[in-house]
Amino acid sequence: MNATCLMFGIVFVLAGIALASGKLIPHMKVWKNMSEEERAGIRMKALCLNLGLMVSLCGVIFLTAGIWEAFLFKAFSKCMLAWFVLCVIDFWRINKGSRYKIS
């Protein structure tokens, strides 16, 4: 068992759940600095769910690495690279698409 990976996994899963449920957003500085107009133009539930799932997925990868030592040495780096690429694609779709915008 790898205690560091377990700790990061637990933190990321809990943060992902908090993000997905929408409980973390009111505490974020970016949200506090947005105008009401900007807030009204965003589908926050869907966006929070998306971001929460991505953070939780990272946590699951860390938890797996913390529990399963063979995964840590053979597949962890590849999974984290794939997760990073998936995040870049996801953020690109969030910025370029209209899925999370209210028209």
**Assigned token pair, 34:** 């947005």
pTM for this prediction: 0.84
- Residue 19 to residues 11, 13, 59, 60, 63: CA-CA distances in angstroms? 12, 10, 13, 15, 18
Q: Which residues pair with residue 87 across a beta bridge? A: none
3-state secondary structure of 101: strand
- Residue 6 to residues 92, 93, 102: CA-CA distances in angstroms? 30, 30, 38
Q: Which residues pair with residue 42 across a beta bridge? A: 101
Name the pLDDT band for 103 (thresholds 50, 70, 90): low
Residues 47-91 have pLDDT tens digits of 889 999 999 999 999 999 999 999 988 999 999 999 999 999 999
